[in-house]
Amino acid sequence: MNSTDTTAELLENRKTEASAWFEDLRNQICKAFEDLEDELTGTNADQEPGRFERKTWQRPDQVGETGGGGTMSIMRGRVFEKVGVNISTVHGTFSEQFRKEIPGAEESEGKFWASGLSLVAHMHSPLVPAIHMNTRFIVTSKSWFGGGTDLNPMYEIEAETQEFHDVLKATCDKYDPAYYPKYKEWCDDYFMIKHWNEPRGVGGIFFDYLDSGDWQTDFNFTQDVGRAFLDIYPRLVARHMNENWTEEQREWQLIKRGRYAEFNLVYDRGTRFGLMTGGNPEAVLMSLPPEARWP
Shortest spacing between CB 39 and a second copy, in angstroms: 25
Shortest spacing between CB 196 and a second copy, in angstroms: 6
Contact 79, 89 (CB under 8 A): no
Cβ distance to a second copy smaller for residue 111 or 293: 293
Contact 105, 141 (CB under 8 A): yes
Q: Which H or E run contains 227?
A: helix 215-240
240 carries an active-site annotation: no
Shortest spacing between CB 209 and a second copy, in angstroms: 25
List the catalytic residue out of 91, 122, 124, 132: 132
Cβ distance to a second copy smaller for residue 64 or 295: 295
Cβ distance to a second copy smaller for residue 158 or 248: 248
Cα gap 134→147, rounded to integer Å: 5
- Comparing CA positions, the residue from 43, 131, 147, 117 lying closest to residue 82 is 131
Interior CA angle at 227 toward 157 and 59, to 5°?
105
Q: Which H or E run contains 70?
A: strand 66-75
Cβ distance to a second copy smaller for residue 214 or 291: 291
Contact 26, 85 (CB under 8 A): yes
Q: Given phi > 0 = left and psi -120 to 50 = alpha, else beta, which region is 173?
A: alpha
Cβ distance to a second copy smaller for residue 15 or 257: 257
Contact 202, 186 (CB under 8 A): no
Shortest spacing between CB 260 and a second copy, in angstroms: 11
Q: What is the largest CA-CA distance in the chain?
A: 68
Burial class (CB in 10 A: 0-12, 13-18, 19+), 219: middle
Cα gap 94→111, rounded to integer Å: 6
* CA end-to-end distance (rounded Å), the chain: 66
One-letter amino acid of 144: W
Shortest spacing between CB 89 and a second copy, in angstroms: 21
Cβ distance to a second copy smaller for residue 83 or 210: 83
Cα gap 144→137, rounded to integer Å: 6
Report the interface residues with a second copy, using CB under 8 A: 76, 82, 194-196, 254, 258, 261-262, 265-266, 272, 275, 279, 281, 284-285, 288-295
Shortest spacing between CB 177 and a second copy, in angstroms: 37
Q: Which residues are catalytic?
A: 132
